[in-house]
Structure 1
Amino acid sequence: MTQDEATRDRVVRVADELFYTRGVQAVGMDAVRAAAGVPLKRIYALFGSKDELILAVLRHRMSVWDAGIAAEAERAATARDRILAIFDFLDAWFREPDFRGCGFINAFGELGAASPAVTEAVREQKSTFQEYLARLVAETGAPADLAPQLAILAEGAQTTAAISGTPEAARQARAAAVTLLDAAIHHAGDLVPG
């Protein structure tokens, strides 16, 4: 990793933590500069604007999300278990002391109406997650319309856990996912000519 890449990575990680814990609009570039220990002129040379930094943070957060789900799914033997592993990942995340909900939903809530670029980045992450679920649902043999239903459970669990301040939403969403999966897989089995 070059020095520029290392500095860029440090600024993104620091900005991510600040934006996530305090809110994007509440954090100025001076706060990022102070926390990262990088001169403001250097930050602007790397990112150009706060908007570019926000998008870099969202890309970083997407890679962290994807890696977290992939790591949890690695331990699962079947597509059904990989789907349920998403809710296990959420349960562990909701128990972290700094959990503040979905960073994408938070950014959209703060900036979506004013920033088409943030809206697009958030939609891309949500779409990518639904596509991942769609592949897993297809592997189970369940109907395709199960994927968006499971995505809504995961998204709703994130919002509910953030508002309630407890991790219970992950367990509840997982139980609902089990019910939906088992019903859909059973129904799909009934449709297969025997």
Structure 2
Amino acid sequence: MARTSKEAAMVADGARAHDARTGAKPSARERLLSAANELFYAEGVQTVGIDRIIERAGVAKASLYNTFGSKDELVHAYLKARHAATSARILAALERFENPRDRLLGVFDALSESFKGPSYRGCAFIAASAEAGPGSSTERASNDYRAWVRGLFTDLARQAGVPDAESLGRRLHLLYDGCAVSVRMDGDPGAAAAARATAEVLLDAALAAPKSGHLG
């Protein structure tokens, strides 16, 4: 497979596993999403035209419009698929940890895994939203993903006993974003380890704060 992220590979692997179980060939929708995962992530949403997606998927142009209606809706479906794959990967990685503290810090371990290999091209949601208009389906999909990440950090912080879980969740979300940008822009292989160490300091400070306190 050409340049794709681990999330894109998970989407494709899931489709192949389904096909192996059922004996079915990939549907036009599955082929279009697989092509979109590969091309949009590697080259950008605006750079890649419909004709290239159709050619890579091996379907008729009518199949794309009958299935998704427009390129915007295909982009939306692509981002939703990445959201599903990313959340599944992170939650699966957290299952190996036995307590809430380790699970919270383990999000950064899971993030580190996604950086490995030459296929990493940065956060797909940051890239796509930079090209999207206000109120677009792309912006909505990106906002949904970001709300999930922050909600995950907040829930894990609450489970770990942090008095102000929402404030810590916000801070860890900022750290999560910065880590991804550093790896993409600076090629910094140690970014995830640094982010995890910083997250641990923030977590310990939050746990030590009085219950009436606020991190700001």
Do Structure 1 and Structure 2 share a fold, with TM-score over 0.5? yes
Query: Which amino acid is the alignment partner of residue 28 of structure 2?
Result: T
What is the aligned partner in structure 2 of residue 128 from structure 1? 148
What is the aligned partner in structure 1 of residue 118 from structure 2? 97
Give the conservation status (yes or no) of the 8 Å contact 2:122–2:184.
yes
Range that drifts further, 1-10 or 61-70: 1-10
Query: Which amino acid is the alignment partner of residue 103 of structure 2?
Result: R
Gap runs ≥5 in structure 2: 1-17
What is the aligned partner in structure 1 of residue 82 from structure 2? 61
- Partner Cα separation in structure 2 for residue 167 and residue 107 of structure 1: 24
User: C-alpha offsets along residues 9-31 of structure 1, whole Å, 9 cap, x if unaligned?
Assistant: 22112101100100111101111
What is the aligned partner in structure 2 of residue 150 from structure 1? 172
What is the aligned partner in structure 2 of residue 80 from structure 1? 101
Gap runs ≥5 in structure 1: none
More helix by share: 1
Give the conservation status (yes or no) of the 8 Å contact 2:28–2:63.
no
- Partner Cα separation in structure 2 for residue 98 and residue 167 of structure 1: 14
- Partner Cα separation in structure 1 for residue 49 and residue 125 of structure 2: 19
Alignment of 1:2-81 (within 5 A): 6-81=27-102
User: C-alpha offsets along residues 127-156 of structure 1, whole Å, 9 cap, x if unaligned?
Assistant: 111111111111111122111101111111
Aligned residue pair count: 190
Task: Compute the RMSD of aligned alpha carbons.
Answer: 2.1
- Asked if 1:164 is matched to 2:186, the reply is yes
- Partner Cα separation in structure 1 for residue 131 and residue 191 of structure 2: 23
Query: Which amino acid is the alignment partner of residue 141 of structure 2?
Result: A
* TM-score, length of structure 2 as denominator length: 0.82
- Asked if 1:118 is matched to 2:138, the reply is yes
